[in-house]
Amino acid sequence: MNLPADASPNLLGALALLVGSRMRSSVSASVGAGGALAEALVVLKDQPGVTAEWLGQVLGLTQPGVAHLVRRLREQGWVERRPGADARSRALHLTTDGMAAAAGILHSRQEALTALLAPLTSEQRRQLEDIARTLLQDEVTDDRSLAHLCRLCDRARCPQCPVHAGYRELTGD
């Protein structure tokens, strides 16, 4: 392959597609559906009590789209609505089955990404961590963009999250 002197942007783009494809496949296989359904489960695991409107904004869905999503989540027995912060709002919470489904999604995602990293040496993995931290640190502008970027993250595996650190730096929290 004859690449120009700086192929890193092109290679990063191809790598992003590969990683995204592997994650989508593993997540979809885990719950029998992917996309917003799986993302919603993980978001609600980490952000219990949010409204459907907030969830829709994080996932980039229209009002009818999020209404359909919440209906599907409830039909699966994964989500329940409870009274919200004010009289008009309804808070979304995962059921026990919803928590188990979210855990299954994160487990499948972890297996797929671990397999993808298998050819790397320990030093290469450490370098990748450093590069990812540098690229991710300044990518959030508010709590919704934080939730959007980390919507399929297993937060327990990343205690020093660069995305959250960048958010704290931005907001002074």
Mind listing the pLDDT tens digit for each residue in 42-100? 999 989 999 999 999 999 999 999 999 999 999 999 999 998 888 788 999 999 999 99
Distances (CA, A) of 156 to 55, 63, 124, 153: 21, 31, 22, 9
Long-range contacts of 161-170 (CB under 8 A, 24+ apart): 162/132, 162/133, 162/134, 162/136, 162/137, 163/136, 163/137, 163/139, 165/137, 166/136, 166/137, 166/138, 166/139, 166/140, 167/140, 167/143, 170/140, 170/141
User: What DSSP designation does 35 have?
Assistant: T
Model pTM?
Answer: 0.85
Backbone angles phi, psi at 94, to 5 degrees: -75, 145
Mind listing the pLDDT tens digit for each residue in 100-126? 999 999 999 999 999 999 999 999 999
